[in-house]
Amino acid sequence: MNVLILGGAGVIGQKLGRALATLGRLRGKDISRIAMADIAVPDGIPGSEIPVDLLHCDISDPKSVASCISSDFDVIFLLAAIVSGHAEMDFDAGMSINMTGTLNVLERARSLGTRPVIVFSSSIAVYGGEVSDPITDQTFLNPQTSYGAQKAIGELLLNDYTRKGYIDGRGFRLPTISVRPGKANRAASSFMSSILREPLNGQEAICPVTDDFPHNYLSPRMCIDNLIRGAELDSEKIGENRCMMMPGRMWTIRELIDAMTAVAGPEPAKLIRWEVQPEIRQIVKGWRFDLRPDKALKLGLRADESFRDNIRYYLEDDQPFHNVDQTRDRPQ
């Protein structure tokens, strides 16, 4: 079993690589090789007993894709993309990477004739506009951003390439992943991690929306678990519609901050500064909130039980030496 992670330098790509190296198996087979590829060569996986190749790959360039994707890859995780805010500001870059890049990967897989499993990371940004709540697996896609449109196009391509037998595709519409480690990026949703991450690190953060703003969230730890579960799904059980929502849960900004306070005490919340930013609010207000991921739940994918878990996972996985009272707010 050989596995390729496109977007392997990103937060999710790095965590996925480490998780696969620890598991050592995928789809019932031992993993023989993990390749991690990105526009910037990814970091390795320290301590991995499985060989790890670190590759350069620009998915917007068909020649780069051809040099990276060989016929011996059984599973390809297609995580590479530019994020929502960047895609909205730079339309050409978003189309080149998020749309054409996805097509380049699918075309390369088709040319090889090996029908690899391709796990595509889509987004809940494919929803929006004049559709009724709740959003179900049967709701039509109506994105209100360029990023959402590019991801929706990728989903249609994934469906069709699977229908034709070129690949075994499965796509998952990710909720906002929080709490992400590292620095803020150009995603419109980036503040949904930074207003927690920075205060937990003793730094000030700006919240550009009001505290009653609701949204769907999933922790990085659970996202990785779901991507791996998604790769292992039986193709027949997925059915004709290869793309689905990844389970998340809806909380308001205030509930996120209350969860942080319950786990880490009152001091971090004092570092949040409230400054409504119309350009961010304009993007995120088009995202739909009442999502019902019934298909994914029936197939075994999961959401976090509480946002307090999201905070704890961040402290455990990305701040292992953070001094947090693990008994705080636990049932007696």
Neighbours of 95 (CB within 10 A): 17
Catalytic residue among 127, 147, 166, 314: 147
Taken in order 107, 110, 111, 114, the sign of the CA dihedral is: positive
At residue 189's C-alpha, the angle toward residues 220 and 288, to 5°, is: 100
Q: Report the alpha-carbon distance of residue 125 to residue 146 in Å, rounded.
A: 9
Strand 249-252 and strand 214-218: the pairing is antiparallel
Q: Is 161 among the catalytic positions? A: no
In whole angstroms, give the CA distance from residue 232 to residue 20: 12
Distance between start and end Cα atoms, the chain: 46
Closest CA to 193 of 300, 288, 83: 83
Residues 129, 211: Cα–Cα separation, whole Å:
23
Look up residue 179 and give its two tokens.
């709490």
Cβ-in-10-Å burial (0-12, 13-18, 19+) of 202 comes to exposed
Q: Taking each helix axis as running N to C, give the angle between helix 307-317 and helix 220-232, from 0 to 180 degrees, rounded to the nearest 10.
A: 90
Beta pairing partners, 76: 4, 118
Residues with a known catalytic role: 147
